[in-house]
């Protein structure tokens, strides 16, 4: 080490509800990412710093933060790309801050439960009858949307989330679409009831920031637009069927 950089880190005390920015100057190595810098601060400068992380491999999604105004995974964002600094690190926007860089995800988890993010069957097949088979082509229709790691970057970037607190949000709607496309699933009608609500897909204004910040190229904006098409088709299908039954 030898080169120095300054981190401007957001600090928040939940007991006093006071917030501020604290500067930390430190030496760093060229291969360090932002998360390495935060871990160095916590380990060697100020052990009271609170931040969330786990895998350090861009898989768990837990280290999402705002770096110089942009939502990113701090485990895959290099310090050298922000030189000469300073580098400002803040918690994800559109979430309640618990402490320092840690946000509360309870609201997201509640919304996630609304769309039943699992395979729903009308009747479960007995284990002895084997698994539900799927062709490579059937998998390809939704595989992209399975890559979501729930990092919440899309929620932090979404302008609708910041103004409409009840909006289900891009990640939840994407996961709902993922299961609706799954050939093994039979719960699409149930999910669409939630996804077509006033707080669902129609609240999306298709700004596209969610897809821009997604580290896994899931394309939540694309998933939501596809869901809108599915919703319209479902509406006309129900309209035609109801008209036919009256005749």
According to DSSP, the residues that pair with 20 across neighbouring strands are: 11
What residues have CB less than 8 Å from 112, skipping those under 6 apart?
Answer: 171, 172, 175
For 136, the token pair is 């490579």
Q: What is the pLDDT along the chain (247 residues), one digit of tens a residue?
A: 568 999 999 999 989 999 999 999 999 999 999 999 999 999 999 999 999 999 999 999 999 999 999 999 999 999 999 999 899 999 999 999 999 999 999 999 999 999 999 999 998 888 899 999 999 999 999 999 999 999 999 999 999 999 999 999 999 999 999 999 999 999 999 999 899 988 999 999 989 999 999 999 999 999 999 999 987 876 666 655 555 555 5
CATH 3.30.9.60 at 3-103, yes or no: no
Q: For 62, what's the count of Cα atoms within 13 Å in the CB-facing half-sphere?
A: 10
Residue with tokens 């609240």: 203
According to DSSP, the residues that pair with 13 across neighbouring strands are: 18
CA-derived radius of gyration, the chain? 22
Do 3-103 and 106-246 show the same overall fold?
A: no
pTM: 0.89
Q: For 242, what's the count of Cα atoms within 13 Å in the CB-facing half-sphere?
A: 6
Q: How many other CB atoms are found less than 10 A from the CB of residue 69? A: 8
Region of residue 100 (phi > 0: left; psi between -120 and 50: alpha; otherwise: beta): left
Which of the four CATH numbers 3.40.50.720, 1.10.1060.10, 3.40.50.2000, 3.30.420.40 does domain 106-246 have? Answer: 1.10.1060.10
Q: For 105, what's the count of Cα atoms within 13 Å in the CB-facing half-sphere?
A: 19
H-only helix segments in the chain: 34-40, 106-114, 136-140, 153-157, 159-163, 170-180, 188-195, 209-213, 220-246
CA angle in degrees (0–180, nearest 5) for 71-74-77: 90
For 129, the token pair is 């009858």
Q: What is the pLDDT of residue 38?
A: 98
Contact 182, 118 (CB under 8 A): no
Distance, in Å, from the CA atom of 150 to the CA atom of 108, rounded to the nearest integer, reads: 9
Q: What is the pLDDT of residue 222?
A: 95
Q: What is the pLDDT of residue 240?
A: 58
Distance, in Å, from the CA atom of 91 to the CA atom of 12, rounded to the nearest integer, reads: 10
Q: Where are the domains of the chain?
A: 3-103, 106-246
């Amino acid at each position: 080490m030898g080169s120095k950089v300054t981190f401007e880190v957001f600090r928040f005390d939940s007991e006093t509800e006071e917030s501020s920015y604290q500067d930390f100057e430190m030496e760093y190595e060229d291969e360090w990412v932002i998360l390495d810098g935060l871990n160095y601060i916590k380990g060697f400068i100020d052990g009271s710093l609170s931040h969330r992380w786990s895998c350090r491999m861009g898989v768990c999604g837990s280290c999402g933060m705002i770096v110089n105004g942009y939502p990113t995974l701090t485990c895959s964002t290099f310090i050298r790309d922000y030189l000469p600094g300073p580098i400002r690190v803040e918690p994800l926007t559109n979430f309640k801050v618990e402490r320092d860089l840690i946000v509360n995800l309870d609201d997201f988890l509640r919304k996630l439960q609304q769309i039943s993010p699992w395979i729903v069957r009308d009747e479960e097949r007995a284990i002895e009858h084997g698994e539900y088979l799927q062709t490579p082509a059937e998998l390809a229709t939704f595989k992209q949307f399975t890559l979501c790691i729930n990092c919440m970057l899309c929620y932090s970037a979404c302008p609708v989330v910041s103004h409409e607190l009840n909006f289900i949000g891009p990640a939840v709607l994407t996961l709902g679409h993922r299961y609706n496309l799954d050939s093994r699933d039979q719960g699409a009608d149930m999910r669409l009831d939630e996804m077509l609500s006033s707080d669902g897909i129609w609240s999306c204004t298709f700004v596209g920031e969610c897809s821009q910040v997604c580290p896994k190229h899931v394309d939540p904006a694309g998933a939501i637009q596809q869901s809108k098409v599915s919703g319209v088709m479902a509406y006309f299908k129900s309209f035609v069927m109801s008209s036919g039954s009256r005749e």
